[in-house]
Amino acid sequence: MRSFIAINLPANDQLVRLLAENGPTGRSVEGKNLHLTLKFLGDIREVDGVRRSLKEIRFSKFSITLKGMGAFPNPTSGRVLFVRAFPENLLKELAAEVDSKTRDIPLDHPFDPHITILRAKGRRNFSDVISKFEGTVFLEQEVTSFSLFESILRPTGPIYNEIQKYQLI
């Protein structure tokens, strides 16, 4: 099962629409699929072991702010446009805790707190849209949980099914 661990975010079609009207072209993430990935697991067979390990995490609730934008691998030659997530230190601590409980599954890349909002087919210069939304706060909310998700890839876009939710304390 292709899976990942993430903080689920409320549907935000306003953000997606704002970018569609003002930003570059590409495949936008649907508002209902917005999430902050703590760890991508890939194809795993032993879901029950992961579920049990994640239950051991004890982490305090905290507030998250989505503010400003960036691009991977860089703004002038990007393939992914994202919104930055803060506070970086708490998000990195939670991601490290998740990684420690799933250490038998290697990280596919270092954790960088962000919300992917658009994927381009080729490389694009995202500098203008990043500058346009510099300092813009897109969302502020309390993080009370994270979840284990199944990811089903379809030609029309991915389907994310929540397997289990884990409450923060």
State the chain's mean pLDDT as an integer: 91
Active site residues: 35, 114
Q: Find the CATH number of the domain harbouring 147.
A: 3.90.1140.10
pLDDT at 16 over 70: no
33 sits in the region (left: phi over 0; alpha: psi -120 to 50; else beta) called alpha
| pLDDT interval class at 150 (50, 70, 90) | very high
Chain-centre distance of CA 139, in angstroms? 14
Residue 10 CB partners (closer than 8 Å, separation 6+) = 34, 139, 141
| pLDDT interval class at 21 (50, 70, 90) | low
pLDDT at 20 over 70: no
More confident call, 20 vs 89: 89
Output the pLDDT for position 56.
97
Q: How many domains in the chain?
A: 1
pLDDT digits (tens, 9 = 90+) for 72-119: 999 999 999 999 999 999 999 999 999 999 999 999 889 999 999 888
Output the pLDDT for position 22.
55
| pLDDT interval class at 13 (50, 70, 90) | low
- Structural domain for 132, as ranges: 2-167
pLDDT digits (tens, 9 = 90+) for 29-56: 887 889 999 999 999 988 999 999 999 9
pLDDT at 23 over 60: no
107-136 per-residue burial string, b: 16 or more CB within 10 A, e: under 16: eeeebebbbbbbebeeebebeebbeebeee
63/24 Cα distance (integer angstroms): 30
Shortest CA distance to 153 belongs to which of 14, 3, 23? 3
Output the pLDDT for position 15.
73
Output the pLDDT for position 46.
85
9/33 Cα distance (integer angstroms): 8
